[in-house]
Amino acid sequence: DPPVTVSFVPSGRRGTVPAGTTVLDAARALGVDVDSVCGGRGLCGRCQVTLGERPGLPADPGRLSPPSLPETGYAGRRPLAPGHRLACAAQVLADVVVDVPEASQVHRQVVRKEAGRPDVAVDPVLRLHYVELPEPILEQPTGDAERLAAALAAEWGLADVRPDHHVLVALQPALDAGHREVTVAVRDGREVVAVWPGLRDAAHGVAVDVGSTTLAAHLCDLASGAVLASAGRMNPQIAYGEDLMSRVSYAMLEPGGAARLTAAVREALAGLVVTLCEDAGISPEDVLELTMVGNPVMHHLVLGLDPTRLGSAPFALATSGAVTVAASTLGLGVHRGARVYLPPCVAGHVGADAAAMVLAEGPHRSDALLLCVDVGTNAEIVLGDRHRVLAASSPTGPAFEGAQISGGRRAAPGAVERVRIDRATYEPRVRVIGVDAWSDEPEFARRSRRAGVTGICGSGIIEAVAELYLAGVVGSDGTIRPVDSARMVPEGRTWGYRLWEDPEIVVRQADVRAVQLAKAALQAGCRLLLDRAGVDEVDEVRLTGAFGSHIDPLYAAVLGLVPDCDLDRIRSVGNSAGRGSLMVLLSAAARREVEEVTGRVEKVETAVEPRFQEHFVAALGFPHGTFPSPHLAS
């Protein structure tokens, strides 16, 4: 057959093949990324392409063979869109341009609405391969597992695959049921982790952010990267201790305490997977891969590792490297062959969540100097650019989560989350989670009837204290002053400010102090990293985490939570650790990247740095003592 030229877009690859070659074979010969599960048998519909064009080469359908079987009879799960051809069936008859749409590429960009930017190029950790195995015959006493390995090597170029034990158990029944046709899931191009009779073309994964307060998870299609369901729930370990150190103490002091904490979080994770699967209409059996990120204590407890050494210096981790374990070890109730991947921990109390934040925010890919802060009961702080990345954690305590604050609540419907205080009358206006109106708007009363007002959450107390400071009710040393307002409540030798009547929410002196301690710890941690980097300013501040992403940058700046910088350079960027967890779920390249960058992050230990205390004391005032704040003059 005479040679013809095939050009692929968007890859730009071009080469000659004999006329009559299928588009899929041409793509493979030229190293073009075209997806396939069925190996070119016209079954899976993953290989769909369209005719492209370039000057002198119009999109003439006659350049490809006319549709015939299997295309004309194709009735798979992915219907052939008008103008689409199966690359495995269409043959190249003349010089042609072939367009491989994003949906037919193995490595594709996933853009999520929330982030508004490509999060990750999918580079599947786990792929499905359909194979047909020859019938066993007496003359060839090879085992079926070896026939499977030979087929995977011949058709998919996978040398040296190793089936799990449970795959050995399931292989022959699957071959019988599928009439010698099976689909296998191969992880890392090596481990055969699942086998099903016939063609199977979907594999799912779950990415989890194991927070000390909240567990948040996404269920994804591992091939497309599409998020099919998202869910969250409280971490039930809270029953054993509000913050991390109290849970470590529980593990240390109570016989069987660590095991109880481990069992509680694993059970909740299994429940979360069930919820996600119900929402997406799949079975937990369909989940083949999971990723989890968390601070070192969560990381150790999920894995069943003793967290007690993380309670004091030198904060010795049982392992700082990336970990892969069988999901069955953790009792997650998913497919028997599923694995759980946890990225490395940065240090003894800067965990895999900080590593995931680094991956997601990418200071190591940035020319600008970024300060990324995940604000929670413990703040993870990362400062860096493409030359150097530093990380620390700072014990901010539970105030930012609304705990140990009078009237404090977690961020849930009914909690006050936004506060404005009139500078002249001292009268407040509030917004409440779940009620889409300010309290002085007519619709507030009607809309708030269902949720009611329950208390004040972390971002609410931040705004309340900042607004009280701006209104002159709280002085720069944090003392509440008795201004001329019926809202002032005498409380012994101090004063409180009544923010809400029913139920009564009073901002007390102790609450202002709690916010001062938390923000000073955060500011001091940031300052230590700036010292270590030898700089005074950063180019951009990114606030992340369930709480961090909820803080209005203005109030973060007013209180001095983070180093002073122009307001337009402080951004709330959503849950970075969760996004990092999603990235490592979808991409082997992202796993390599997080492992590489974590290895070179420089750890700064706040607990033993003498200057931490100095910075802490200096940062107690409002806006703060360390950074004069010209940006806030107005």
Beta carbon nearer to ligand FES, 155 or 614: 155
- How many residues bind to ligand FES according to rule CB under 6 A? 13
Closest approach, Cβ 40 to ligand FES, in A, equals 5
Beta carbon nearer to ligand FES, 79 or 134: 79
Residue 572: helix, strand or coil by DSSP? strand
Closest approach, Cβ 586 to ligand FES, in A, equals 21
Candidate list 4, 26, 32, 38; residue touching ligand FES; CB under 6 A: 38
Q: How far is it, in rounded angstroms, from Cα 353 to Cα 580?
A: 8
Beta carbon nearer to ligand FES, 221 or 593: 221
Beta carbon nearer to ligand FES, 46 or 418: 46
Tokens of 181: 């046709």
**Please, what is the angle between helix 588-599 and helix 352-361, to 10°?**
110
Beta carbon nearer to ligand FES, 75 or 253: 75
- Contact segment (CB under 6 A) with ligand FES among 35-43, 256-264, 436-444, 606-614 equals 35-43
How many helices, marked H, and strands, marked E, lie in the chain?
A: 15, 30
Beta carbon nearer to ligand FES, 90 or 167: 90
Neighbours of 502 (CB within 10 A): 7
Cβ–Cβ under 8 Å, residues 520 and 512: no
Closest approach, Cβ 28 to ligand FES, in A, equals 11
Tokens of 320: 């700082």
Closest approach, Cβ 542 to ligand FES, in A, equals 42
Beta carbon nearer to ligand FES, 85 or 550: 85
- Contact segment (CB under 6 A) with ligand FES among 45-53, 360-368, 436-444, 474-482 equals 45-53
| E strand residue ranges, 3-114 | 3-9, 14-18, 48-52, 85-86, 96-99, 109-111
- Which bin fits 427, alpha (ψ -120 to 50), beta or left (φ > 0)? beta
Closest approach, Cβ 256 to ligand FES, in A, equals 52
Closest approach, Cβ 92 to ligand FES, in A, equals 15
- Tokens 């030798």 belong to 493
Neighbours of 436 (CB within 10 A): 12
Tokens of 478: 């944090």
Sign of the four-CA dihedral 451, 455, 461, 465 = positive
Candidate list 6, 26, 32, 45; residue touching ligand FES; CB under 6 A: 45
Beta carbon nearer to ligand FES, 106 or 259: 106
Closest approach, Cβ 47 to ligand FES, in A, equals 3
Closest approach, Cβ 94 to ligand FES, in A, equals 21
Report the residue closest to ligand FES, judged by CB: 88
204 strand-pairing partners = 221, 287
Q: CA nearest 148: which of 186, 200, 204?
A: 186
Beta carbon nearer to ligand FES, 38 or 210: 38
Closest approach, Cβ 38 to ligand FES, in A, equals 4
Beta carbon nearer to ligand FES, 45 or 414: 45
DSSP letter string, 338-351 = -EEEEPPPSBTTB-
CA 537 to chain centre: 28
Q: How far is it, in rounded angstroms, from Cα 129 to Cα 430?
A: 56
| DSSP label of 552 | -
Candidate list 4, 7, 46, 471; residue touching ligand FES; CB under 6 A: 46
Ranges within 437-496 binding ligand FES (CB under 6 A):
none
Beta carbon nearer to ligand FES, 76 or 413: 76
Q: How far is it, in rounded angstroms, from Cα 541 to Cα 375?
A: 12
Cβ–Cβ under 8 Å, residues 435 and 448: yes
- Contact segment (CB under 6 A) with ligand FES among 37-45, 110-118, 244-252, 461-469 equals 37-45
CA 607 to chain centre: 28
Cβ–Cβ under 8 Å, residues 551 and 572: yes
Question: Is residue 47 a contact residue for ligand FES (CB under 6 A)?
Answer: yes
- Tokens 């991409």 belong to 587
Closest approach, Cβ 22 to ligand FES, in A, equals 9
- Tokens 């069925």 belong to 38
Query: CB-based contacts of 143: which residues, under 8 Å, 6+ apart?
Result: none
Closest approach, Cβ 147 to ligand FES, in A, equals 21
Closest approach, Cβ 183 to ligand FES, in A, equals 11
| DSSP label of 192 | E
Beta carbon nearer to ligand FES, 46 or 579: 46
Candidate list 25, 28, 42, 285; residue touching ligand FES; CB under 6 A: 42
Candidate list 4, 26, 27, 43; residue touching ligand FES; CB under 6 A: 43
Candidate list 9, 23, 40, 466; residue touching ligand FES; CB under 6 A: 40
Closest approach, Cβ 78 to ligand FES, in A, equals 9
Closest approach, Cβ 76 to ligand FES, in A, equals 7
- Contact segment (CB under 6 A) with ligand FES among 1-9, 36-44, 413-421, 486-494 equals 36-44
- Contact segment (CB under 6 A) with ligand FES among 42-50, 346-354, 424-432, 468-476 equals 42-50
Cβ–Cβ under 8 Å, residues 327 and 278: no
Beta carbon nearer to ligand FES, 74 or 612: 74
Candidate list 21, 36, 65, 213; residue touching ligand FES; CB under 6 A: 36
Q: CA nearest 481: which of 507, 514, 455?
A: 507
Q: How far is it, in rounded angstroms, from Cα 558 to Cα 426?
A: 18
Q: CA nearest 354: which of 302, 387, 392, 316?
A: 392
Beta carbon nearer to ligand FES, 199 or 582: 199
Q: How far is it, in rounded angstroms, from Cα 52 to Cα 58?
A: 8
Ranges within 5-34 binding ligand FES (CB under 6 A):
24
Query: CB-based contacts of 313: which residues, under 8 Å, 6+ apart?
Result: 605, 607, 608
Which CA distances in Å does 599 have to 298, 358, 378, 425?
Answer: 20, 12, 22, 55
Ranges within 62-121 binding ligand FES (CB under 6 A):
86-88
Beta carbon nearer to ligand FES, 77 or 450: 77
Residues that bind ligand FES (CB under 6 A): 24, 36, 38, 40, 42-47, 86-88
